[in-house]
Amino acid sequence: MGKGRVEAFTDGVVAIIITIMVLELKVPHGEDLAALAPLWPIFFSYVLSFINVGIYWNNLHNMFHTVQRVDGRVLWANLNLLFWLSLMPVTTAFMGENHFAPVPVAVYGVDLALCAVGFNVLSTSLHRLHEPESKFARALGNDRKGKISLALYIAAIFLTFLNQWIGVAIYVLVAMIWFVPDKRFERLIERNG
């Protein structure tokens, strides 16, 4: 089956996730800069989550350019990833509104880790559907960056209970690693047109 509907559905869900996150931002009470200070944890959490959701959307967009077809397994794997991404507004608000308390920071990390697992499951499902020499398989490679990211998320969850800022710093680090779009798929798309 074709991939167009999966891409369109994914784009729609990601747009809704980002919309829900921005609607969680509240207007400050006051008219001076001091009124913004209490909102910094919520705004920082929003920015971090916006970047993370954007990273997934960007990588899915590039990845699906190399995909030739999808099947039922891929549809369910994509829904699995979108489910964990759809929890991002809740875990973002939980972390920001509780000023980065350890449990909310850990819960946010669990969501990030499950998003990473979901992306891996989707990649594996697509890999099974495509030949080893397909554009998709060549671009995906061994996905070392994805595996390192998942390991960092898991470490951050546990380290959060030592100091929640360690967890937050690791989440920011992983986002920085992925902030530049994943070139594996882009290079292949540019070479093959």
**Per-residue pLDDT tens over the stretch 47-62:** 999 999 999 999 898 8
Burial class (CB in 10 A: 0-12, 13-18, 19+), 34: exposed
Say if residues 147 and 119 touch (Cβ distance below 8 Å): no
Identify which of 154, 141, 164, 170 has the alpha carbon closest to the alpha carbon of residue 52: 170
For the chain, the average pLDDT equals 90
Tokens representing 148 are: 């390192």
pTM score, whole prediction:
0.91
Helix (H) or strand (E) holding 147: helix 144-159
DSSP state of 68: -
Residue 191: band (very low, low, confident or very high) from pLDDT cuts 50, 70, 90 = low
- The predicted pLDDT at position 33 comes to 85
Tens digit of pLDDT for each residue in 132-146? Answer: 777 777 777 778 888
Q: Are 36 and 28 in contact (CB under 8 A)?
A: yes
